[in-house]
Structure 1
């Protein structure tokens, strides 16, 4: 039940939702990259908040440990919560994907305009931990969207066949949501370790 292979099968069982989650994240990146003034103002507020937290962590007695604890708790709590927040018709996972994509797209574009090396930004600053963290967040949002879809079906939206099987879908989802959450937390733990060590060292 808690095997990683079962987790992979769970992901494969919602491949359409996974594709949608990935698409929403990519759209968010593109919107952030283009960035109108209103979007830029919103994203800058998010980045300013992160900057304040980052400065505080940098001034602690053990910056690397402080960064690790903050990154892991922040990402894992959000990663698990976004699954269950999908119960609100799947709206919050969509917003979460779009906003995170927008911040990433805007930040990379902004740094490139400032003359920063894209190799430094992407390969050193993003790729080492992002190759695990980003898919983990997309997976969590996909299961949140799946939960939202089941709510819509329960409300009478969808085919007769889907509505007939919705009870079984609810039972299956809540049977698997524990192991799914566990593996998402494990992936985000690994990403946090990499970000607070390898990424931290590469970006010094």
Structure 2
């Protein structure tokens, strides 16, 4: 069995339940964020400003809007890839800090939905055309990264409590690197291509 086949077998065996479980948790966080903003009647412009700050500020967002499609793709892909890499790096700390990344990304979906509703774009249509096509790949990749991080974190706890005798951590880190290369990177590549080249076409078609 090749390294790639072994990596996908391990993925299939361990992470199917995680995708379902964290998918449900992610939806709950997104819906709770949307409902919370709606109940609080938070100013849409303030939310947009917060998101722009997270993306590097107004000037950075304006610069992004002027980019060519291939530049937009590279920006989206590199950002999404870094999210997965950040989750795996945070897993090396013996605290579940990687869950913060998951919670923030889930809440962002609720914030975007709130903005769409507040600006009259229509949440359902915007979600189906603007988020779902790439999100159906991107979000499972982030969830898989979280599941991988959990295994690394668990191995670190075992390593610490065994007085540094348990060697499972080395195996889990090696698996994580292989899954980053052969699963998460291709997944984020496809999601980035869809978001950069297909999503704009779908939105233009849906709102013409």
**Fold shared per TM-score above 0.5:** yes
Q: 1:58 aligns with which of 40, 62, 65?
A: 65
Q: CA deviation at 1:46?
A: 4.0
Whether the 8 Å contact between 2:47 and 2:115 is mirrored in structure 1 is no
For residue 10 of structure 2, what is the aligned residue in structure 1? 9
Question: Structure 1 178/100 Cα, relative in aligned 2: closer, same or farther at 3 Å?
Answer: same
Whether the 8 Å contact between 1:28 and 1:99 is mirrored in structure 2 is no
Question: Structure 1 17/129 Cα, relative in aligned 2: closer, same or farther at 3 Å?
Answer: closer
Question: Structure 1 89/11 Cα, relative in aligned 2: closer, same or farther at 3 Å?
Answer: farther
Whether the 8 Å contact between 1:28 and 1:102 is mirrored in structure 2 is yes
Structure 1 stretches of 5 or more lacking a match?
157-162
Give per-residue Cα distances to partners, 1:118-156, cap 9 Å, x unaligned. 342111101111111110011112211222222233343
Question: Structure 1 99/146 Cα, relative in aligned 2: closer, same or farther at 3 Å?
Answer: same
Distance 1:152 1:45 in 2: 39
Structure 2 stretches of 5 or more lacking a match?
none
Distance 2:4 2:137 in 1: 18
Whether the 8 Å contact between 1:29 and 1:103 is mirrored in structure 2 is yes
Whether the 8 Å contact between 1:90 and 1:145 is mirrored in structure 2 is no
Question: Structure 1 20/91 Cα, relative in aligned 2: closer, same or farther at 3 Å?
Answer: farther
Q: CA deviation at 1:30?
A: 2.8
The total of aligned residue pairs comes to 195
Distance 1:126 1:17 in 2: 21
Distance 2:100 2:87 in 1: 10
Which structure 2 residues correspond to residues 124-203 of structure 1 after superposition, within 5 A? 124-156=129-161, 167-182=166-181, 183-203=183-203
Secondary structure of the corresponding residue to residue 89 of structure 1:
coil
Distance 2:61 2:193 in 1: 16
What is the TM-score of this pair, normalised by structure 1?
0.79
Q: CA deviation at 1:170?
A: 1.5
Secondary structure of the corresponding residue to residue 35 of structure 1:
helix
Distance 1:86 1:4 in 2: 25
Distance 1:40 1:101 in 2: 20
Secondary structure of the corresponding residue to residue 128 of structure 1:
helix
Question: Structure 1 15/190 Cα, relative in aligned 2: closer, same or farther at 3 Å?
Answer: closer
Whether the 8 Å contact between 2:159 and 2:169 is mirrored in structure 1 is no
Question: Structure 1 191/14 Cα, relative in aligned 2: closer, same or farther at 3 Å?
Answer: closer
